[in-house]
Amino acid sequence: MQRVFRFYSDDLFIRATSVISTPVVKAMCEVQNTGPLATMALGRAVTGAVLMAAQLRDHQVVGLHFRGNGPLGSVYAEASYEGECRGWVDQPDAQVPLKDGRIDVAAGLGIGLLNVIRSQPFEKAPHIGTVELISSEIGDDIAYYLQQSHQIPSVTALGVILTPNGDVQVAGGVLIELMPGATEAVISALEESVASAKSLSSLLSEGRSPEELLKNYTGPIKMNQVEHPFEIKYSCRCSIDRVERSITMLGRDEVQKIVDDGVDAKVRCEFCGRTYVLEMTKLLEILAGFSQMN
């Protein structure tokens, strides 16, 4: 079972989450048929959302909406405390030149804003915090949001490694947060460990565990694991039945216009990016249904 690992230091001044998110990132990118650039951006974003959500409470949800002026357009990732996650990217086929032989996520996303949407049960409206994208590399931008909006210094390391064919080989990440009241000794110890850490990508490529990913950044600092039993899974409530109902709600005249165009209707779920196709036979069946209602 793939799940998020949660940790706290003995003095409670440091809390952390780490995860190997390969299955959900792979499933999401396969559904949306993303190219290498979009796969890298979406994979980092959903991994970051999963890490943040694990520190929330029951049934709370966090959404990360990266809105840049680059060829990717917007990138959105959402995760719940219970491990359900989904996401999408505006332009799954976007491309930019490589930078030093690597996929340039920052150029793909461009200059823009990060909206962080926090929702909880029985709340009429979600809380939305907004910061500018300081690097457009996803991880740095999440850390900047935590610092600016919650005054929480953090280390946010997110990684996605692709196969030569551009598919997801492994994905994962670490989020370490310094809690209010942390002493200079605690801060210095963490900074020293982070400064000597290996790159996350190298650890992921070596097949390291979530515990080992965290240890890479915390070094000799003792971290205690806290149970977080929920499996992370790619999940969206959309379905072909929902799509058919939404088309029906357009009304007879609008459905007639779609039929008159003579092409199958393509409907893209705005939450997860999955595309559904309603063939002409189904559109005619929906149209006929209006006559039966009268």
Q: Which of 191, 210, 234 is the last residue of a domain?
A: 234
CA dist 265 and 129 (Å) reads 36
Same domain? 218 vs 282:
no
pLDDT of residue 72: 98
Same domain? 11 vs 108:
yes
Same domain? 61 vs 164:
yes
Same domain? 91 vs 34:
yes
Same domain? 155 vs 274:
no
Cα angle 282, 251, 263; round to 5: 40
Q: Which of 216, 234, 252 is the last residue of a domain?
A: 234
Low-confidence ranges of the chain (pLDDT < 50): none
pLDDT of residue 293: 58
Same domain? 110 vs 250:
no
**What CATH number has the domain bearing residue 104?**
3.55.30.10
Same domain? 55 vs 116:
yes
Same domain? 215 vs 246:
no
pLDDT of residue 125: 81
Same domain? 131 vs 149:
yes
Rg (CA), the chain: 21
Sign of the CA dihedral running 95, 77, 73, 273: positive
Overall domain count for the chain: 2
**What CATH number has the domain bearing residue 272?**
3.90.1280.10
What's the whole-model pTM score?
Answer: 0.88
- Token pair of 253 as six digits: 């005249």
Dump strand ranges (E) for the chain.
Answer: 5-9, 14-20, 61-68, 74-80, 84-89, 112-119, 127-132, 154-162, 168-178, 223-226, 233-234, 265-268, 275-278
pLDDT of residue 1: 67
pLDDT of residue 270: 73
Q: Which of 203, 234, 265 is the last residue of a domain?
A: 234
Same domain? 196 vs 274:
no
Same domain? 228 vs 284:
no
Same domain? 184 vs 289:
no
Provide the residue type at 183 as one letter.
T
Model pLDDT for residues 125-135, shown as the tens digit of each residue: 889 999 999 99
pLDDT of residue 253: 87
Residue 264 sits in which domain range? 240-293
Could you tell me which of 165, 164, 174, 233 has the C-alpha nearest to residue 204?
174
pLDDT of residue 123: 78
pLDDT of residue 153: 94
